[in-house]
């Protein structure tokens, strides 16, 4: 099939590339000319494992192309996916201006029957508004459908090509049949294609992310209680996750969730509830817990050093909001670093992929190190903020010899306290007794 993807950001590029890899002819459209030029050269403007290789192959084989003009791309396609950003504004609402602008341009461009698919994460009722906009501009028959994305940064290609489920929100049997066929190569292992009304599809994305955010905040609250009563969160977690009704996913304590989805989607669902007179007290509490969790490590560091960080140098491993991505949107590291800087500390930071994004946020207020051990030089302690695999089994002897003091503040519980005790480290983690 001929497909147009409006928006060549994270969701759009992964979506277009994976559809091209399955044999479709795909054109990705973006107003950012510099981005389009980079993509034409096979350069992916963000880090996602395996994506650059797929982009280069499909560009070379002629199935994937990149343009800045929307109307020609839509005119030669049967299906157009809207994948533009919907950032959160100051009130917590999703900014839909890019979605609606794309809908207007698509309406003017379609020739013959066309399917407009909203893949951007949007509040309930957005697809109805998109349909109204397209109808005002279009002269041909069309359908608007909701196909929400469920991509995890760091494993997006796997998530797209082997999805747990595909959700199609549709009011048209014709559009549903075509979208089923388009997605059929990715569900050969009998994972379901769920067909429902558009509003249910829109709400499904928010409900999924909000449930996962609830689990993270819940386990962080339990971890805080463990510290207060002298229990061990690792033991409690095993007791909790072994219950088949609960499971183990998203029950790892830490310094809170971040990224482009959870914070935005939780806030958007809270706001939608208010618009319909539904008070999401549970989600409001989860968000409050999450914000507080980001301060725990800072308070622990300040307490250890007697409340005064002036003249202290601290090393930080991990800046991205999660491993296997360079994304720092709403990353807990931002709040931690800003608080440490405000307390007078000097910071030496490392991340395998996010240093360029960090420079845009912190400028010259911290020093950047491409090698993790270099960040330790002259530091009084090490803070771990992201659970990258390369941090899990480091050379502890080298860490000990390089730091001024053998002190680790672990915001992701990477290390065994008994091992830290045996190696004579002072070690603080989340929900476990300090060493």
* Partners of 28 in the β-ladder: 5, 66
Instruction: Write down the residue that tokens 């930071």 correspond to.
Output: 349
Query: Is 337:362 a contact under the CB 8 Å cutoff?
Result: yes
| The two structure tokens encoding residue 147 | 């196909």
Within 62-106, strands assigned E span 64-67, 79-82
Instruction: Write down the residue that tokens 């999703």 correspond to.
Output: 94
* CA-closest candidate to residue 151, choices 208, 198, 199: 208
Between CA 48 and CA 280 the distance in angstroms is 34
Query: Is 152:6 a contact under the CB 8 Å cutoff?
Result: no
Concatenate the DSSP letters of all residues of 342-380 into one string: HTT-EEEEE-SS-HHHHHHHHTTSSEE-SSGGGGGTT-S
* CA-closest candidate to residue 297, choices 220, 383, 421, 425: 383
Between CA 398 and CA 374 the distance in angstroms is 11
Concatenate the DSSP letters of all residues of 18-40 into one string: HHHHTT-EEEEE-S-HHHHHHHH
Catalytic status, residue 226: no
Element (H, E) at 180: helix 173-183
DSSP state of 408: E
Query: Is 377:348 a contact under the CB 8 Å cutoff?
Result: yes
* CA-closest candidate to residue 18, choices 117, 159, 122: 159
Query: Is 2:76 a contact under the CB 8 Å cutoff?
Result: yes
Q: How far is CA 204 from the centre of its chain?
A: 17
Candidate list 18, 28, 145, 261, residue with the active-site label: 261
Catalytic residues: 261
């Amino acid at each position: 099939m001929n497909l147009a993807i409006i928006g060549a950001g994270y969701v759009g590029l992964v979506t277009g590339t994976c559809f091209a890899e399955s044999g479709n002819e795909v054109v990705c459209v973006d107003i950012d000319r510099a981005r389009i030029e980079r993509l034409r050269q096979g350069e992916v403007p963000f880090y996602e494992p395996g994506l650059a290789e797929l982009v280069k192959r499909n560009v070379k084989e002629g199935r994937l192309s990149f343009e800045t003009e929307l109307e020609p791309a839509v005119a030669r396609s049967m299906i157009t996916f809207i994948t533009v950003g919907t950032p959160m504004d100051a009130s917590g609402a999703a900014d839909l201006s890019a979605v609606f602008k794309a809908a207007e341009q698509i309406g003017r461009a379609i020739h013959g029957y066309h399917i407009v698919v909203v893949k951007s994460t949007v509040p309930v009722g957005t697809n109805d508004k998109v349909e109204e906009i397209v109808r005002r501009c279009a002269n041909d028959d069309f359908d608007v459908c909701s196909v929400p994305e469920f991509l995890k940064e760091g494993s997006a290609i796997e998530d797209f090509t082997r999805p747990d489920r595909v959700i199609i929100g549709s009011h048209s049997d014709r559009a549903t049949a075509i979208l089923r066929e388009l997605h059929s190569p990715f569900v050969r292992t009998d994972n379901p294609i769920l067909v429902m009304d558009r509003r249910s599809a829109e709400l499904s994305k928010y409900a999924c992310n909000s449930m996962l955010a609830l689990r993270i905040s819940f386990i962080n609250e339990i971890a805080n209680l463990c510290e207060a009563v002298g229990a061990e969160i690792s033991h409690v977690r095993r007791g909790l996750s072994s219950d088949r009704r609960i499971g183990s996913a998203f029950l790892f304590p830490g310094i809170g969730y971040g990224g482009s989805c959870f914070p935005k989607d939780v806030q958007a669902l809270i706001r939608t509830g208010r618009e319909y007179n539904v008070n999401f007290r549970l989600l409001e509490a989860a968000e409050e817990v999450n914000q507080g969790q980001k301060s725990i490590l800072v308070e622990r560091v300040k307490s250890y050093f007697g409340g005064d960080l002036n003249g202290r140098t601290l090393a930080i491993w991990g800046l991205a909001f999660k491993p296997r991505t360079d994304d720092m949107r709403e990353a807990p590291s931002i709040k931690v670093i800003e608080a440490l800087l405000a307390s007078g500390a000097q910071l030496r930071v490392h991340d395998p992929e996010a240093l360029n994004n960090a420079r845009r946020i912190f400028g010259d207020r911290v020093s950047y190190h491409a090698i993790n051990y270099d960040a330790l030089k002259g530091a009084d302690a090490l803070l771990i903020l992201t659970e990258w695999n390369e941090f899990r089994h480091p050379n502890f002897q080298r860490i000990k010899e390089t730091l001024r003091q053998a002190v680790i503040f672990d915001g992701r519980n990477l290390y065994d306290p008994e091992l830290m005790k045996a190696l004579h480290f002072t070690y603080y983690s989340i929900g476990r007794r300090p060493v």
